[in-house]
Amino acid sequence: MLLPFLVLAIAAGCHKDGRPSAPSVFGPDEGQPGETLLFQTVARDPQGGNLSYRFDWGDGTTPVWTPELGSGDTFRMAHVYLDTGEYAVAVNCRNEARLESDWSTPLQFSVTFLGPVTPASPLGPTQGFMDSVLDFFCVAWHVRGESVAAQFDWGDTFGNWTGYTASGATIKDGHRYHDIGEFAVRVHTRDQAGNVSPWSSATAVSIGLPPLHPPQNLRISTIGGMQVKIGWDAGGNEDSVRYALWFRPLNDTGFFEVAEVAGRHANHEPLGATGRYTVSARRNSEEIFAAETLSTIPVFSDTVVVYELNADSVSGYGWDSLSGANRLGSMLDTADAGLIDWYFTDLSPGYAGPGYYLASAQFGQEDPGGVVPPGPWRPTRLTVVMGDIQDPLPEYDSLYYQRVVDASSPQTNVAVYTAEGHYALVSAYDPNRGDGFVRVLSWFQTIPGLRLIQHPKPSPE
């Protein structure tokens, strides 16, 4: 319903010749392209008849007559402006007699973009590596100070819209490139009403291959006692890098490749041979080797004298499981119980034989010599090796490996299985009945469970 003063103004504008009054037009002060804007107009016919209105939108659209509406009733009309600019909307009307009014006073208003401001070029690295995440940033502004979200065009795909953040805040997003090349990164923003800014200018980023890193943290284990398994860490390499396993057999001067894999471990069946291993990382024509090597060659301990249980305190023999070095101890002192794997005995109170034996330290308390005190003696097991002592040692079996083995011969080769699951080879030779001792040398395999014992030092002549 029109206010009284507006009714009076319309009535005063009616012409005496019967033409309607010039319409009054009302509408928004501003709008933006693509937004539906609502305008209102009203006029009065002197005869009180119906009126039809015609809007001149000021954007080149051809004015058309609207359906008729009662005199003095407000007519509402919507219009969408496609471009920004300064516009003037004018309206005239006609009555049922087709008498037209004068045009209204033009309504001046602006059509401007009222959504997010076009962002500046994204900030981020100009260079990066394939498969590495690169972070880019933009500052998102809005004309009305409303919150905005951003979407990056990465040059190879479009990112997802980020969450909404305050106008003027910095928005961050990251991308991982899977190809090598030059890419243009740009960004645009939108508000919660769906208004989207133009795209920013682009920031160029060059994506190349990352540097090749040597494998790190090499480690060695066994599968079934005869096969070697080497594991390692990638050392910063991406998934596209492949790895080669290299082996240098005992007494050889150079490595040769035995496997190539894409993963982080490789297996090798050395057919009884021992040697050294290393790993290289390779990509296309590049290759880089690990700084370390690993060995399956058993640790050699040179000849020492071990006395019979009743002849001298140095009657026990064992190994450090980490270094493989041998160590001697006394079966008379329980403080040495953790050091000794086996000892030398004639299974009698004296030391003159005639038979001699190597026995598990755990057997000591049962020895007929009767001098070993109770203690936490190690449960080592032994078996005599009848074949070539360069061959892999027999696999441990509780029936085959015993607590006591005969060592009366001029040379006895004995396979030893320790409490930690290590294998060792002992060569005991020239038992001395007069003084009650035997000479011993050994080879200890530091890799638990590995039965390979091939070694460079020959057995004593």
Angle at 95 between CA 45 and CA 19, to 5 degrees: 60
254-270 burial, b for 16+ CB within 10 Å, e for fewer? ebeebeeeeeeebebeb
Predicted confidence at residue 13, as pLDDT, reads: 52
The structure tokens listed for 352 are 């003159």
C-beta of residue 258 within 8 angstroms of C-beta of residue 269: no
Angle at 349 between CA 348 and CA 350, to 5 degrees: 95
CA pair distance 419, 152, nearest whole angstrom: 62
Angle at 154 between CA 152 and CA 159, to 5 degrees: 50
CA pair distance 67, 75, nearest whole angstrom: 10
CA-to-CA separations, 87 to 46, 113, 115, 431, in angstroms, rounded? 31, 14, 19, 118
CA pair distance 171, 140, nearest whole angstrom: 7
CA pair distance 135, 157, nearest whole angstrom: 15
CA-to-CA separations, 253 to 30, 249, 250, in angstroms, rounded? 86, 8, 8
Nearest residue to 178 via CA among 261, 262, 243, 239: 239
pLDDT in tens, the chain (461 residues): 334 444 444 444 556 688 999 999 999 988 888 889 999 999 999 999 999 999 999 999 999 999 999 999 999 999 999 998 999 999 999 999 999 999 999 999 999 888 899 999 999 999 999 888 999 999 999 988 999 999 999 999 999 999 999 999 999 999 999 999 999 999 999 999 888 999 999 999 999 988 999 999 999 999 999 999 999 999 888 877 999 999 999 999 999 999 999 999 999 999 999 999 999 999 989 999 999 999 999 999 999 999 999 999 999 999 999 999 999 999 999 999 999 999 999 999 999 989 999 999 999 999 999 899 999 999 999 999 999 999 999 999 999 999 999 999 999 999 999 999 999 999 999 999 999 999 999 999 999 999 999 999 765 54
C-beta of residue 342 within 8 angstroms of C-beta of residue 377: no
The H or E element spanning position 173 is strand 169-176
- Residue 276: strand pairing partners: 248, 295
Predicted confidence at residue 209, as pLDDT, reads: 86
Instruction: Give the count of beta carbons closer than 10 Å to the beta carbon of residue 93.
Output: 31
Nearest residue to 277 via CA among 287, 289, 261: 289
Q: Which residue has the tokens 């804007």?
A: 37
CA pair distance 424, 428, nearest whole angstrom: 13
Instruction: Give the count of beta carbons closer than 10 Å to the beta carbon of residue 167.
Output: 18
pTM: 0.65
The structure tokens listed for 448 are 């638990």
Nearest residue to 111 via CA among 76, 77, 80, 78: 80
C-beta of residue 445 within 8 angstroms of C-beta of residue 452: yes
At 84, give phi and psi (nearest 5°): -75, 160
**DSSP track, 247-271:** EEETT-SS-EEEEEESSSEEEE--T
Neighbour order of strands in the sheet with 423-432: 299-307, 437-444, 423-432, 411-417, 381-384
CA pair distance 279, 56, nearest whole angstrom: 81
CA pair distance 251, 297, nearest whole angstrom: 10
Within 8 A by CB and 6+ apart from 366, the residues are none
**C-alpha torsion 83→84→90→95, nearest 10:** 30
Predicted confidence at residue 239, as pLDDT, reads: 79
Neighbour order of strands in the sheet with 51-56: 30-31, 107-111, 85-95, 51-56
**Pairing between strand 381-384 and 411-417?**
antiparallel
Report all structural domains of the chain as residue ranges with CATH numbers, in order of start.
4-111 (2.60.40.10), 127-208 (2.60.40.10), 216-295 (2.60.40.10), 299-444 (no CATH)
Predicted confidence at residue 17, as pLDDT, reads: 82
Q: Which residue has the tokens 């919660």?
A: 192
